[in-house]
Amino acid sequence: MNLASQGGDPNNDLIFVNFNQDCSSLAVGSKHGYKLFSLNSADKLENIYENDTEDICTVERLFSSSLVAIVGLSSPRKLKVCHFKKGTEICNYSYSNTILAVRLNRLRLVVCLEESLYIHNIRDMKVLHTIRDTPPNPSGLCTLSNSNDNCFLAYPGSSQIGEVQIFDAVNLRAVTMIPAHDNPLAAMAFNSTGTRIATASEKGTVIRVFSIPDGQKMFEFRRGVKRCVTIYSLAFSPDSLFLCCSSNTETVHIFKLETVKDPKVFEEPQGWMGYFGQALKTSANYLPSQVTEMFNQGRDFAIARLPFSGLRNVCTLTNIQKLPRLLVASQNGYLYMYNLDPMEGGECTLLKQHRLDGQLDALTAEVSPPAFTEPAAAAAAAPFGKTSEEGAGKGRTTEEVRKQSGNYSYASALKQAEQRAGAFFDDEPEIEVCQDDPSEVTPPQLEALRLDDENEFPPMTHKTD
């Protein structure tokens, strides 16, 4: 997620932050390069890689592999695919317009421009398909499922209402269009298996979950009634039983995706309360459909309170040290870790907070201890599904929260960078394959990338015919 939007701190170097597909690491882009952090421990952010060669506005890592896709702020039309452990650039593509988002899984890499999407085969980076003349999408909103079996791409089908277009990224065909909301879309997210998609509109009051590929509505949750908000991110838990939602408010909502049992199996309460409840159910049939839908909408299962509001952020649900955690990375340069009780819900407790620049504040303070003791955690805090982990780290004291605000504009920075470049590109992206030995020149069409999944996915090497 691009965090350097209007209202950011001009002294804050942070431009981009995002979790990888299985939430095992965090990628941070700044005016001075990018960093990759491991998320295997709540006590420490382990810096597994750091590059300070250029300003980075997008960096996406492929699971726990060495493959990263990066876009520089000074070259917003050029995508670089790199092997960060070898320190080599595999190839780069130049596009006709600014790159707004990059999504990747083990089969595909998708580049999102304002009015087009390019689908690449991640094994050789060849362009397989181009979706042209999409509705204007200035925020680069799109999402790609992590599953190989259900490799779907979702993007807005309209700039006026909340239509979701589902596209099969393997068979390269449109699957369905979901009329999700009356207002334009603000956020979307697939679950880990690509069988569900969560959506939110610019109004921000209702979150809906649809089944994939048929597009049937499964759940509907009301985030709030009093005010409309800007939804920044949605994320499923690894087991798809929970959904978190962050916005420009100080509250992160967590919804539980459980099917309500048939009320007929429960015994009707006796007395005047029973009559009152039955009267409400009967009267709901005569109310307007919008009011009836409000009665049927679910409410949040748990919440987390952030120490700020109005700052862009991205949230996710994952397991850290075998316990369920809510993670929120914010524009103020901090990562917040919360405990989540998957049985009782309620208010999540702030466990740790880490600076994303790897530095220490002048004043440090301990954050609240974990909400559960170890015996209680075993019973009440069963972990979500499985996530990959990398190495362990020793604990350290976490820092005091900084509350920052300002006016750094990511959009204006991109516009200035494009004006400086002044270059004209054709509609088709131009590829440049990078060789370790400059004397070796291989035609791009013969260049391929070989993937090896023995130790990590994928160590990228060159294969020359």
pLDDT class of 268 with cuts at 50, 70, 90: very low
Q: Does the residue 5 lie in any domain?
A: no
pLDDT at 286: 55
Write out the residue range of the structural domain in which residue 92 sits: 14-464
- Which backbone phi and psi does 278 adopt, to 5 degrees? -65, -35
Output the average pLDDT for the chain: 79
CA quadruple 55, 70, 21, 162: dihedral positive or negative?
Answer: positive
Most confident stretch, 86-90, 275-279, 334-338: 334-338
**pLDDT class of 463 with cuts at 50, 70, 90:** very low
Q: Is 4 a member of any domain?
A: no
Q: What pLDDT is attached to residue 385?
A: 59
Residue 1 lies in a domain: no
What's the rounded Cα separation, in Å, for the pair 238 and 193?
A: 9
In the DSSP assignment, the letter for residue 136 is P
Which one of 115-119, 295-299, 417-421 scores highest in mean pLDDT?
Answer: 115-119
Distance of CA 446 to the CA centre of its chain: 34
Mean of the pLDDT values across residues 289-317? 80
CATH number at residue 352: 2.130.10.10
* Residue 68 pLDDT grade (very low, low, confident, very high; cuts 50, 70, 90): very high
Using a pLDDT cut of 70, give the percent of the chain over it: 67
Kindly calculate the radius of gyration of the chain based on its CA atoms and give it in whole angstroms.
Answer: 23
- Whether 180 is in a domain gets the answer yes
Q: What is the pLDDT of residue 2?
A: 75
Q: Is residue 247 over pLDDT 90? A: yes
Q: Which two tokens stand for residue 82?
A: 């790199």
Supply the pTM of this predicted model: 0.78
Q: Which two tokens stand for residue 404?
A: 């920052």
Question: How far is Cα 407 from Cα 385, in angstroms, rounded to an integer?
Answer: 40
Q: What pLDDT is attached to residue 299?
A: 85
Q: What is the pLDDT of residue 245?
A: 97
pLDDT single digits (tens) 336-389: 999 999 999 999 999 999 999 866 554 334 454 444 434 344 444 567 754 333
Is residue 408 one of the residues assigned to a domain?
yes
CA angle 176, 181, 185 (to 5 degrees): 85
Q: Which structure tokens are listed for 374?
A: 């170890």
Residue 283 has pLDDT above 70, yes or no: no
Query: Can you count the helices (H) and strands (E) in the chain?
Result: 4, 32
In this predicted structure, what is the pLDDT of residue 401? Answer: 37
Mean pLDDT of 213-232: 88
Q: Using CA atoms, how far apart are residues 356 and 19, in angstroms rounded to an integer?
A: 13
Alpha-carbon distance of 322 to 3, in angstroms, equals 29
Confidence of residue 223 (pLDDT cuts 50, 70, 90): confident
132, β-bridge pairs = 116
In a domain, residue 376? The reply is yes
Is pLDDT at 148 greater than 90 in this prediction? Answer: yes
Residue 280 lies in a domain: yes
Instruction: Judge whether 453 lies within some domain.
Output: yes
**Number of structural domains in the chain:** 1
